């Protein structure tokens, strides 16, 4: 999975360099279409909307490449990109965590993030959830936040994951938080959130 943190040289990227990047993306998609996406971490808050990253969206569209965004500080800007580029699938990393340590601090931007649900090309990765709670398993202090995200995006656009290396619990507990502890999830919801929805979103065929 390519990971890019934009640097100043990107601002002045020549057309030939842009085409080189696009070519590499296209090649990667042909070699491994089921494991490639493009992920960007936005360190300069205006780049998403000031034209700096405008080359990326048509490239992603042509390659059929979803773009995952570590963009918690610029959630409203994601909405602008989603509206202008409805053919590009955008995925918000880590439940859109705003920062902070736990609970309300981590979800301080929740209203803005929930507003993104109106764009059908935006989905949410439910990764890192246990680390956002001030409590031990089953992390009840964040259940309501997860419920609100579920209500907004639905199980078809909410993708489970762990970010396991920084979790305060076991791999199994990362799983059972969603499969056993969230009473508002139906069995069909769990099937979608735990993997089927992501496969559907990316166009991966399941048996």
Residue 25's pLDDT is what?
56
pTM: 0.81
Q: Which residues of the chain register pLDDT less than 70?
A: 1-45
pLDDT at 7: 47
Contact assessment for residue 98 and residue 112, using Cβ atoms and an 8 Å cutoff:
no
Check residue 71 and give its pLDDT: 82
Domain assignments of the chain as residue spans, ordered by start = 3-202
Q: What is the tens place of the pLDDT at every residue in 140-156? A: 999 999 999 999 999 99
pLDDT at 43: 53
Identify the architecture of domain 3-202 in CATH: Alpha-Beta Barrel (3.20)
C-alpha span between 113 and 186 (Å, rounded): 23
Instruction: Report the alpha-carbon distance of residue 63 to residue 23 in Å, rounded.
Output: 9
DSSP 194: I
Pairing of strands 90-92, 67-70: parallel
Quote the pLDDT of residue 41. 52
């Amino acid at each position: 999975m390519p990971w890019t943190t934009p640097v100043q040289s990107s601002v002045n990227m020549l057309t030939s360099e842009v085409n080189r990047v696009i070519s590499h993306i296209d090649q990667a998609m042909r070699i491994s279409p089921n494991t490639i996406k493009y992920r960007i971490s936005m360190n300069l808050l205006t780049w998403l909307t000031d034209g700096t990253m405008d080359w990326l969206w048509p490239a992603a569209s042509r390659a059929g490449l979803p773009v995952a965004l570590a963009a918690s500080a610029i959630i409203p800007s994601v909405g602008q990109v989603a509206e202008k580029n409805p053919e590009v699938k955008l995925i918000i990393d880590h439940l859109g965590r705003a920062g902070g340590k736990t609970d309300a601090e981590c979800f301080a931007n929740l209203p803005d993030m929930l507003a993104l649900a109106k764009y059908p090309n935006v989905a949410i990765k439910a990764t890192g959830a246990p680390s956002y709670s001030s409590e031990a398993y089953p992390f009840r202090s964040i259940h309501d936040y997860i419920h609100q995200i579920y209500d907004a995006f639905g199980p078809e656009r909410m993708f489970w994951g762990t970010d396991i290396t920084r979790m305060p619990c076991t791999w199994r507990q990362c799983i059972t938080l969603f499969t056993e502890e969230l009473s508002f999830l139906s069995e069909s919801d769990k099937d979608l959130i735990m993997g089927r929805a992501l496969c559907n979103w990316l166009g991966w065929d399941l048996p």
